[in-house]
Amino acid sequence: MRRFTTLFIFCCSLLPMMAQAQERITLQDGSVLNVFLVASGDQSKQRHPLVILMGGGPGNASISQDTSRWLGSGFAQRGWMVAVPISRNNRSFRGGANNALIAELIAELQKRDDVVQGKVLLAGVSNGGMSALEIARRNPEKYFGVAAVPAISSTETDNDALEGFPVYLRIGGADQLDWADRFDETVASLADAGVELNAEVLEGAPHMFRMEWESLGSWLEEIQR
């Protein structure tokens, strides 16, 4: 994981730092979820749309902080309020109980005066991208879409709930985990379900890669219309 963290830090240095803070968010059941928040760079608006961004691997504090700086800063520059939750069990946010934590987190964050009510964007890196797809399958009507950068999906996965749902998918062509070899399977799994898919392999890119913000930014504008 250190080589991925090194790439995160390098990419962070290419972006201006945004206001970032770690907060303890108390959920409805009284439990606490630790979250890195990156404030929107657009201060002309009182409220900002929310993106829940989930880190790769175990989604621990170190990875979540790197993700908030690297990818979260890019979203914040484009007017989003960014929340990067820290996994409690080193599984990012995969599985029913973890999926439910994200729904509870959204409910709490949308009580804030600077967060827009309504639909939320889900985004994730690697295990976080797969978490985002899992969460979206439960209640797709609550979300703008999923930015999975990267993620994979099996042909055996039931994605039918995502019919007509926007998904932005990118996988590195030189992915160290060989996820590029699963690109066609992943596309078929999503396309066969009727997902509104924007998917590409990034030639020569590793598992963790620098975002194509021109492409992702255009997609973000489209899904908010």
Confidence at residue 18, expressed as pLDDT on a 0 to 100 scale: 55
- In this structure, the dihedral spanned by the alpha carbons of residues 136, 138, 141 and 146, taken in order and rounded to 10 degrees, is 0
Find the helix or strand (DSSP H, E) in which 20 lies: strand 20-26
Percent of the chain with pLDDT over 70: 92
What is this structure's pTM?
0.91
Number of structural domains found in the chain: 1
Owning domain of residue 219: 2-223
Give the model confidence (pLDDT) of 107-166 as tens digits.
999 999 999 999 999 999 999 999 999 999 999 999 999 999 999 999 999 999 999 999
Distance separating alpha carbons of residues 192 and 17, to the nearest angstrom: 40
Give residue 110's pLDDT.
Answer: 98
Q: What CATH code is carried by the domain that includes residue 102? A: 3.40.50.1820
Give residue 16's pLDDT band: very low, low, confident or very high (50, 70, 90): very low
Tokens of 92: 């990012």
DSSP strands (E only) in 86-163: 120-124, 143-148
Phi first, then psi: give them for residue 135, nearest 5 degrees.
Answer: -65, -40
- At 79 the pLDDT is 96
User: For residue 14, is pLDDT > 70?
Assistant: no
Tens digit of each residue's pLDDT (9 = 90 or more) over 181-206: 999 999 999 999 999 999 999 999 99
Tens digits of per-residue pLDDT, 40-99? 988 888 999 999 999 999 999 999 999 999 999 999 999 999 999 999 999 999 999 999
Asked if the model's pLDDT at residue 6 lies above 90, the reply is: no
